[in-house]
A and B are shown apart, each in its own frame.
Chain A
Amino acid sequence: MKSFAPLLTLCLGLLAAPLGLAAEREDTPPNRPTVQKRFGTKEGHVTMHLVGVTHVRNDLYNTLGAGLDLGYYFNEQLGAELRLVWLYTRLSGAGDSIRERAGLTPDARAQNYLTTAGLRYSFGYGKILAFDTFVVHFDPQITLHAGTAFAGQRVLPTVLTGLSLLNHFKWGIQVKLDLNLTAQMERRDRGWVPSFGFAPFLGLGWSYGGLAAVPEAGP
């Protein structure tokens, strides 16, 4: 599962890139440096993203998930976000083999849902010219989420943190890639047990700035 996510992200990014190309033309003469206004602004914007995720914990389960992110940016740097993700978890090949032979399963339970709330901080803004053909605008971000995961009757306190790349395209369309490290606590029969993992999120969404009339941001 770990190898699928970056590949999926790259594919989606490539598919969406022409939108960015269409969004902006480089009309400025090449020999004169200029500072442009930002193409993708965030302050006062509400965002909504459909996200896909995989969660890797090395717990003999495979997990795929899909969900929804709802966000709001207080300014160009800081935004808040709510996340609700449905997870489909089943035993991995190795886990299946042990279950079939011995009837044993991991004492960690398969997770069904993840709900978190968190912050998203942009520490920069940039654009790149890709393949001498189209321009992509993006925000590098740091994310921090906390919430709970549900695994059957168990409730797992969960923290996610990592780096994110938020890409801006025409008509407010956004693509983001979160590379999150996860930390969870699970109350198993032997007591509270920690677990750590990796959870990449790929999101496709839309940013709406009509709620707040703010002047366009500077460079």
Chain B
Amino acid sequence: MPQTSPQPIRTSTSVRCAFWPSVLLILCAVYGCAFVEFERGPHAIRGLDVVYSHQEDMTFLSWRLRDEAALEDIEFEIYLNFDFVRLDLSKAPYAAEPYPCDRNYVCFQYQLPGRYNFPSDLAPIRSVHARHGVFPGSEARRHQAHQTFGVRPIAVENNSRLDARRQDWFADNKIPLKRGYQWQLVGRGSDTDPCAEPRSNWLELGARSALAEGWTSGAWCVAARPKRDDNAGVIVKVPFKPSAELFWESQDYVPPEQTHATVYLFLVDLQISNAQRCKQVTDKIVGTASASLNARGSNVVRAGIYTPISADTGDSTDGCTQRARQDYPVSKMAEDIKNAAARFAPERVRVVLVYLNNMELPPSERLILQLYDFANQMYQTDELVPYSWLIGSNTLMGLAPWEWSTGWRPIEDESFLADLKAFATYNVPFRTMDHDRFTQVPIRRPEGATRPQFFKICDATPQISHLVISGLAVRASGSVYHWPGDGALDYRVELEPQEFVAHVEYRRQRVVVVVEICERFCDGPYRTRSGVDYDNWQQSQVCQWTR
């Protein structure tokens, strides 16, 4: 029999790979494996601040726990008289329920009268969990403050409300402290007398506390204090005077605009040998342009259609054959224009000369001069403002400063007809802005104001050039001016002039002027819209309107 050598027992790689991890997992599970690290747990005190206030002669303690702590199972102990004693947070002078603070924390507070002393190497407050026992506290951060509470009252909303502008040392230093505050007005004989003693009727101090109507007629102080159930604690008294009573308004001015009547005429000087084709072309161009112009309104009038006249006979030609000796009927054209414009008198009228010439050669110098002569006749009449529109070849476009030009193309080209129509929709009616740098724009009394005394120009866009008070111009530089009473108050402003501007190109310009008036207590303090306070409205160039 053949001998066979014993084969080694093979194990699959996957089995070997899975074996040891499996063993580790089972061992881990049997003996437990929680991968624990240590931390200051949720029941351990963090961020303990101990603040002694000289002003209040009191020590404030503030600390926190993680918000996942089971608060119902936790009590606190404080180190007093060489031992830790149970702390009843509700017995604190400024007692507060635990409250959320920062992020993921719950804050606690307690106060002790006088200065609280404790060993420097000891955490003076510790927590006790009902099940897990005592958790030593964290090291205390010690602070001292001379003044922890104060007010700088200012009347806002035209003396209808009080903002105490409370000074809070704890908030400034980001140390949590929750307590309420109270205030009252106490009288004094005059502005130089001391403040009287407060009475027992304290009011809750909010962000905006209502002031009694008519309080501005007397001399007052504001008395304020942190709220304590035992009516004890520090009281501060600060003189309090009315604020400036102000009204402001943003006043818009859009200059009025005027649309002008349009009188147009055609001067046909073509070179088309086929008379029938020439008539067809002329009719098409004149008809399309006239229709689009007439569609722009009733104050668009056609004066006529003109063709050159023979220099020899003075007779009109058909406008289809250009001759060496021909003239343009300038006098006739000017006369007809004036007659047509007369119906719109005394308004100024835009005169549109539509010049048709399809030749690539420039017309003779004499004809060009005749066109200039026509323009001069128009300019010599104040009511007529000429405008030239060439429908012709590229050669002619460079010959004179046409205000509008349309390249010559066959009338079968739709784009050519569309261009002819575009002239009317783009330009007509022509517009003029009724404003110049001497125009005086009135300033109205702001709504709500009844007895203005002073005013400021807070803002003007664009910048106004002069302020005119009762006819006397002054610079408008943010100063304080007397309200003119019955006199007029105007300003002047320079705007970009627009005269006989194409309908589409006309820009409606807007002037915004912010005026602020003061009625009473104009030398008093005030608060801007952005919340910045100033001591004296009359001596400041800043408006209440200012953001």
Taking beta carbons and an 8 Å cutoff, which residues of A are in contact with B?
56-60, 90-91, 96, 98-100, 102-110, 152-154, 181-183, 188-190, 193-198
Question: Nearest Cβ distance between residue B292 and chain A, in whole angstroms?
Answer: 76
Residues of B within 8 A of A182 (CB): 29
Residues of A within 8 A of B137 (CB): 103
Interface residues on B, range: 20 to 34
Residues of A within 8 A of B82 (CB): none
A-B interface pairs (CB < 8 A), number: 101
**Residue of B28, B37, B68 touching A106 (CB-CB under 8 A):** B37
CB interface residues, B 1-30, toward A, < 8 Å = 25-26, 28-30
Q: By the criterion CB–CB under 8 Å, are B35 and A104 in contact?
A: no
Q: A57-B32, A196-B25 are in contact. List 7 more A-B contacts (CB 8 A).
A: A58-B31, A100-B134, A105-B41, A107-B41, A183-B29, A194-B35, A197-B29
**When chains A and B are docked, how far (Å) is the Cα of A109 from the Cα of B25?**
22
CB interface residues, B 125-176, toward A, < 8 Å = 131-138
Q: By the criterion CB–CB under 8 Å, are B132 and A99 in contact?
A: yes
Which partner residue on chain A sits nearest B25 by CB separation? A196
Question: Nearest Cβ distance between residue B211 and chain A, in whole angstroms?
Answer: 47
Residues of A within 8 A of B37 (CB): 106-107, 188, 190
Q: By the criterion CB–CB under 8 Å, are A107 and B30 in contact?
A: no
Q: Quick one: given A196-B28, A196-B29, A198-B29, are A58 and B34 in contact (CB under 8 Å)?
A: yes
Q: By the criterion CB–CB under 8 Å, are B136 and A193 in contact?
A: no
**When chains A and B are docked, how far (Å) is the Cα of A106 from the Cα of B68?**
15
**When chains A and B are docked, how far (Å) is the Cα of A91 from the Cα of B131?**
8
Residues of B within 8 A of A90 (CB): 131-132
Q: By the criterion CB–CB under 8 Å, are A104 and B29 in contact?
A: no
**When chains A and B are docked, how far (Å) is the Cα of A182 from the Cα of B30?**
9
Interface status of B496 (Cβ within 8 A of chain A): no
Residues of B within 8 A of A152 (CB): 42, 68, 70
Q: Quick one: given A99-B135, A197-B34, are A107 and B68 in contact (CB under 8 Å)?
A: no
Q: By the criterion CB–CB under 8 Å, are A189 and B39 in contact?
A: yes
**When chains A and B are docked, how far (Å) is the Cα of A109 from the Cα of B35?**
12
**When chains A and B are docked, how far (Å) is the Cα of A126 from the Cα of B76?**
59
Residues of B within 8 A of A196 (CB): 25, 28-29, 32-34
CB interface residues, B 88-147, toward A, < 8 Å = 131-138
Q: Quick one: given A90-B132, A197-B33, A198-B29, are A103 and B68 in contact (CB under 8 Å)?
A: no
Question: Nearest Cβ distance between residue A14 and chain B, in whole angstroms?
Answer: 25
Residues of A within 8 A of B33 (CB): 57-58, 195-197
Interface status of B456 (Cβ within 8 A of chain A): no
Which partner residue on chain B sits nearest A162 by CB separation? B29
Which partner residue on chain B sits nearest A182 by CB separation? B29
Residues of A within 8 A of B136 (CB): 100, 102-103
* 9 tightest Cβ-Cβ pairs between the two chains A and B: A58-B32, A105-B41, A59-B34, A195-B34, A104-B38, A181-B29, A103-B136, A196-B29, A106-B36
Q: By the criterion CB–CB under 8 Å, are A104 and B32 in contact?
A: no
Q: By the criterion CB–CB under 8 Å, are A56 and B133 in contact?
A: no
Interface status of B43 (Cβ within 8 A of chain A): yes
Residues of B within 8 A of A181 (CB): 26, 29-30
**When chains A and B are docked, how far (Å) is the Cα of A57 from the Cα of B28?**
9
**When chains A and B are docked, how far (Å) is the Cα of A182 from the Cα of B32?**
9
Q: By the criterion CB–CB under 8 Å, are A105 and B35 in contact?
A: no
Interface status of B44 (Cβ within 8 A of chain A): yes
Taking beta carbons and an 8 Å cutoff, which residues of B are in contact with A?
25-26, 28-44, 68, 70, 131-138
**When chains A and B are docked, how far (Å) is the Cα of A107 from the Cα of B40?**
8
Question: Nearest Cβ distance between residue B279 and chain A, in whole angstroms?
Answer: 93
Residues of A within 8 A of B28 (CB): 196
Q: By the criterion CB–CB under 8 Å, are A198 and B34 in contact?
A: no
Which partner residue on chain B sits nearest A89 by CB separation? B131
Residues of A within 8 A of B44 (CB): 103-105
Q: Quick one: given A105-B39, A106-B38, A196-B25, are A91 and B132 in contact (CB under 8 Å)?
A: yes
Residues of B within 8 A of A105 (CB): 38-41, 43-44, 132, 135
**When chains A and B are docked, how far (Å) is the Cα of A91 from the Cα of B41?**
12
Q: By the criterion CB–CB under 8 Å, are A60 and B36 in contact?
A: yes
Which partner residue on chain A sits nearest B28 by CB separation? A196
Question: Nearest Cβ distance between residue B69 and chain A, in whole angstroms?
Answer: 8
Q: By the criterion CB–CB under 8 Å, are B36 and A108 in contact?
A: yes
Which partner residue on chain A sits nearest B43 by CB separation? A105
Residues of B within 8 A of A57 (CB): 32-34
**When chains A and B are docked, how far (Å) is the Cα of A99 from the Cα of B30?**
26
Question: Nearest Cβ distance between residue A132 and chain B, in whole angstroms?
Answer: 34
Q: Quick one: given A90-B132, A152-B68, A153-B68, are A198 and B32 in contact (CB under 8 Å)?
A: yes
Q: By the criterion CB–CB under 8 Å, are B36 and A104 in contact?
A: no
Q: By the criterion CB–CB under 8 Å, are A107 and B39 in contact?
A: yes
Which partner residue on chain A sits nearest B70 by CB separation? A152
Q: By the criterion CB–CB under 8 Å, are B43 and A195 in contact?
A: no
Question: Nearest Cβ distance between residue B111 and chain A, in whole angstroms?
Answer: 24
**When chains A and B are docked, how far (Å) is the Cα of A109 from the Cα of B42?**
9
Residues of A within 8 A of B32 (CB): 56-59, 195-198
Question: Nearest Cβ distance between residue A152 and chain B, in whole angstroms?
Answer: 5
Q: By the criterion CB–CB under 8 Å, are A198 and B30 in contact?
A: yes
Residues of A within 8 A of B41 (CB): 99, 104-107
Question: Nearest Cβ distance between residue B103 and chain A, in whole angstroms?
Answer: 13
Which partner residue on chain A sits nearest B30 by CB separation? A198
Which partner residue on chain A sits nearest B36 by CB separation? A106
29 inter-chain pairs at a CB distance below 8 angstroms, sorted by A residue, are: A57-B33, A57-B34, A59-B32, A59-B36, A90-B131, A90-B132, A91-B132, A99-B135, A100-B133, A100-B134, A102-B38, A102-B136, A103-B40, A103-B137, A104-B39, A104-B40, A104-B41, A105-B41, A107-B36, A107-B39, A108-B36, A109-B42, A109-B68, A110-B131, A190-B37, A195-B34, A195-B35, A198-B30, A198-B31
Residues of A within 8 A of B31 (CB): 56, 58, 198
* Among A99, A103, A196, residue most surrounded by chain B Cβ atoms (within 10 Å): A103
